[in-house]
Amino acid sequence: MQVKFGMCIVAHAPLPEQLNLSVLCERLGYDTLWFPDHLTFLDQAEAVDAWTVMAAVATRTRKIKLGTAVSDPHRIHPALFAQRAATLDQLSKGRLIVGLGSGESMNLDAFGIPWKDRKVGRVREFVQVFHGLLQGHAVDHEGPLYQLKGARLSVRPYRGRKIPIHLASLGPQMQRLAGQVADGWKPVVIPPSHYDEYFSGIRRAALEAGRNPNDIDRGVPFAFALFDGDKQPTSQQLAAAVRPYAGALVWEPAIQQMGMEWNPPEHLRGVGYHTVNPADPESLRLYEEYCRWLPDEMLNQFVVAGPGQLIREQVRKYVNAGVTHFEITNASPDVISSIVWFACEVMPEFTGRPPTAFARALNVLIQPLRRMGLMRRLLPKDLDIWKKVGL
């Protein structure tokens, strides 16, 4: 399976910047864009509707694929979800990927949406109804959660294709489900040395279901921070790049499986990104304390920060471990020039495609600006320079 590179679109950016960044990523040769499907965020960033943003991006792009990272089955009936997905797939001419997970406290608890019971069973039934309704015939379904009798959607995906579902699978039950039904796997950050071991449960479940596990797109969140020169960043630079992503990237079972010491204070055990409720001040306080507690040496296992060679080597290790789809979070001090650098200096080695002409031209323009120290002053205030190069 060809290696693909996708960019996670951060919710902190204003909507016009999200659209412009999406167009830029397509012109730079990235394969996918991933949009967070949230009702709220821990830092109170504006939680816009991912599907509306993807629809806007679909009208401004032609090739790049669009996916949610991730949706859950608790906030919407699978019939409405299928209708929405088929409509967007038609609008984008077959470029939709559905990222689906079992849910997070921050999007559910404060809104009174039950989610802690039957999480895996709900995802399984949701996928079954979703795919059934998009086949174009009447569906009868009698399940513990959904009951359909002669239900039929008149809208279908673009050219009747099957919309791929990538499952965010963390625990063994969700991994088993991914092996049985998913087109792609979206794990948490797993260091390369342990990646294949985590995929083994999905591989086994796929074989038991009569599926070829090599047909499953194997993703990994990839957070990087590019620093100029050959020297490692200072501890202050590293903390600034890595610390904001601490709780979202470090997963306790991965730490334990790596053999690293895991000894948080007793009152922080069980605290993490998937369980924090931002509407509960005490829950939020504990999560923030947890993020501050995480040691730098532990964070460095989950975010690669440093010179370009270090980042390239980490990508190479992941590809050798079996990763076929990188979902990039860019923590670099200079966001634009680093994604241009990544498209020109990293992606071609693993995709087999040369950089786009646009990427090469933009990379030539950016380098003198970086050497003169003008990038930081130009980017936040003046976007005319990007218009001049065709953005």
Domain boundaries, the chain: 4-251+302-388
Contact 168, 198 (CB under 8 A): no
Rg of the chain on CA atoms, in Å: 21
pLDDT for 209 equals 98
pLDDT for 88 equals 98
Two structure tokens written together for 42: 């821990």
CATH class of the domain defined by 4-251+302-388: alpha beta
pLDDT for 19 equals 94
Contact 129, 141 (CB under 8 A): yes
End-to-end CA distance of the chain: 31
Residue 167 β-bridge partners: 100, 185
DSSP 106: G
| Contacting residues for 125 by C-beta, under 8 A, at least 6 apart | 143, 144, 145, 146
In the chain, which residues have pLDDT < 50?
378-391
Q: What separation in angstroms does the CA of 261 have from each of 73, 298, 388?
A: 35, 9, 51
Q: Name the helix (H) or strand (E) containing 240.
A: helix 235-242
pLDDT for 374 equals 64
pLDDT for 366 equals 81
pLDDT for 72 equals 96
Burial tier of 305 (Cβ tally within 10 Å: 0-12, 13-18, 19+):
buried
Q: What separation in angstroms does the CA of 211 have from each of 38, 110, 308, 352, 365?
A: 32, 39, 38, 27, 47
Residue 7 β-bridge partners: 33, 328
pLDDT for 370 equals 66
